[in-house]
Structure 1
């Protein structure tokens, strides 16, 4: 399938380009960015920050305006656009009959737009049928969640199914790559922790509740730490049905069934959950890239003195929490007949 990338010169757009190299189903056919970049060769327009060589085919491509009229040759688009412009542009593409798989926040909480993590809520793709961007249903939008809501919902899903989540107290330790490029000033983050990320905390609760189709209380504190990739979450959880012991909690993970395991999606990890026994694991530097950056790591799983259990969870924020998650969404949609 021929795909376009909107916001192709930005950090998320570059991650899409990197991850789509040699994809068995999807081929990059068009790149879109701001008017400042349009008309230039991609190699001239982008400040390439990925740690692989810029693919020569992409380097030679001419950047287009993010106008659906210039993307008539693609089957669908991935959007890595900034939220300040994503709403208008993504809506225009959908109305033009071009499906959009978005990393932006603008449509996430729309009642007709899937907020999707394929292992957690694949049934939510049915919401596409309620969208009215085009009369024939050819244009639609699917979103992937905030880079914290992704690992949090994954960590909670087996536990919620087994015990019912009642309350979560959450502290995040978020890598600097989550701030995009140029991101956080070096004098603010080197040897430091910043105890607030603007606009982050209000997204976590609503998005996680939509992903799990559940109501529960969540208090989140979002911090920025000097790691490169991998968001770490510290969660203390109260359940509606208290687990008898830690073995019952572990059983909830080991007995969980992956609803997309039989689909053989290229970006689906062979092992969704990695439960670490060592007290000092997981660690972003050691584990964020495992299973192609698509695995969720859980450690420090223990009964809690306050509430019921505590755990640490970690996932690669720009892969599982952004571009890689969007690609997995596209794979699910393709397999289910919504693309192609």
Structure 2
């Protein structure tokens, strides 16, 4: 029997990705769509301006959108919550659901709190054990598990095998982030047409801090953060989907380009071992051609769940350069939360 899923923030871009990715999912089925007062009471097809190229599933289109409230979850027999709400309301809203439900969140609000796991299942599945401490600390029957910022996920997946095999002293990264990361109306067309924006509010701080927690060593109820610094510069560019990152790393040990290619292309994690439905066969796809990855061609590899890496170059002894690309609303948002939930189910956390 499938678990019944409620989506809060169901009408936005990430909410729509949840709907798309949960269609015919073997573990979960959508039973409740929740949004703001503006959408509540309407059929989903009327309330949502559908932005994706795939059509709205007919059954979803006819579902009534309900106000974000735990009562709606109770009335619909919900077992699990996927959250795509703004950070500005997440503390109160997600906390109210977590009293009784597992909440898989895309928002930044709880990410860096000590008892909240910040998860990338291929990288740090052991951090799920923080949920036991979270429930004791907060008196919740459910829990909150978060996935990182969309740019962080695309960076930390290739960092993981490099960190384990060669060690990392420091990272510099410049991002070229897609428009969908700001939401459908997030960047005015006249601001970005024939232009790029060299600043994204709050983004650089997330990219500089979140990997240290994700790559940190778990010690009981505490995480000893990874010790290397990250220096980030984040830019918004005129691409629909797919965040590209130029990465410059000083490693602890020297390397060859072939060695780095092997380390990255052979990387696998627990989701691949368990053959979870949303897990890509290859978490990292390595390109040898000089002009890849590119968002238009490569963002949907692995169903949008693979990170593409190319332009792998050795600058000097222990200094590595490469370009990586990930789909920001799939691997970087809804797909990440769903993969977290799949692993939680397999680990019998839900």
Instruction: List per-residue Cα deviations over 1:263-305 (Å, max 9, x = no partner).
Output: 1100000111111000000000001011100011000001014
| Distance in structure 2 (CA, Å) of the matches to 1:178 and 1:196 | 13
The alignment partner of 2:142 has SS state of coil
Give 2:228's match in structure 1, choosing from 216, 222, 229: 216
CA contact 1:94–1:134 (8 Å) conserved in 2: no
CA contact 1:236–1:307 (8 Å) conserved in 2: no
Deviates more, 1:23-32 or 1:46-55: 46-55
Give 1:317's match in structure 2, choosing from 328, 333, 338: 328
1:63 Cα deviation from its structure 2 partner: 1.1
CA contact 1:10–1:46 (8 Å) conserved in 2: yes
Give 1:308's match in structure 2, choosing from 298, 316, 319: 319
| Distance in structure 1 (CA, Å) of the matches to 2:65 and 2:58 | 14
Tell me which residue corresponds to 1:196. Answer: 199
Tell me which residue corresponds to 2:60. Answer: 58
CA contact 2:311–2:321 (8 Å) conserved in 1: yes
CA contact 1:91–1:133 (8 Å) conserved in 2: no
1:9 Cα deviation from its structure 2 partner: 0.8
Where in structure 2 are the equivalents of 1:1-340 lying within 5 Å? Answer: 1-72=3-74, 73-95=77-99, 97-132=100-135, 138-213=141-216, 214-243=226-255, 245-305=256-316, 308-339=319-350
Deviates more, 1:178-187 or 1:132-141: 132-141
| Distance in structure 2 (CA, Å) of the matches to 1:49 and 1:284 | 18
Number of equivalenced pairs: 337
CA contact 2:98–2:140 (8 Å) conserved in 1: no
| Distance in structure 2 (CA, Å) of the matches to 1:179 and 1:136 | 34
Structure 1 stretches of at least 4 aligned residues deviating more than 4 Å after TM superposition: 133-137
CA contact 1:232–1:312 (8 Å) conserved in 2: yes
1:307 Cα deviation from its structure 2 partner: 6.1
| Distance in structure 2 (CA, Å) of the matches to 1:255 and 1:77 | 33
The alignment partner of 1:120 has SS state of coil
CA contact 1:43–1:60 (8 Å) conserved in 2: yes
Q: Give the CA RMSD over aligned residues.
A: 1.5
| Distance in structure 1 (CA, Å) of the matches to 2:188 and 2:46 | 25
The alignment partner of 1:32 has SS state of strand
The alignment partner of 2:170 has SS state of strand
1:249 Cα deviation from its structure 2 partner: 2.0
CA contact 1:133–1:140 (8 Å) conserved in 2: no
The alignment partner of 1:132 has SS state of helix
Deviates more, 1:84-93 or 1:127-136: 127-136
CA contact 1:16–1:323 (8 Å) conserved in 2: yes
1:241 Cα deviation from its structure 2 partner: 2.2
The alignment partner of 1:131 has SS state of helix
1:167 Cα deviation from its structure 2 partner: 0.6
| Distance in structure 2 (CA, Å) of the matches to 1:148 and 1:211 | 13
1:334 Cα deviation from its structure 2 partner: 0.7
| Distance in structure 1 (CA, Å) of the matches to 2:228 and 2:254 | 15
| Distance in structure 1 (CA, Å) of the matches to 2:50 and 2:22 | 16
| Distance in structure 2 (CA, Å) of the matches to 1:111 and 1:19 | 30
1:251 Cα deviation from its structure 2 partner: 3.1
Q: Cα–Cα, structure 1 residues 135 and 187, in superposed 2: closer, same or farther, change >3 Å? A: closer
1:255 Cα deviation from its structure 2 partner: 4.5
1:135 Cα deviation from its structure 2 partner: 7.8
1:242 Cα deviation from its structure 2 partner: 2.7
CA contact 2:267–2:283 (8 Å) conserved in 1: no
Task: Structure 1 unaligned segments of length 5 or more: list them.
Answer: none
1:259 Cα deviation from its structure 2 partner: 2.8
Deviates more, 1:302-311 or 1:195-204: 302-311
CA contact 2:265–2:286 (8 Å) conserved in 1: no
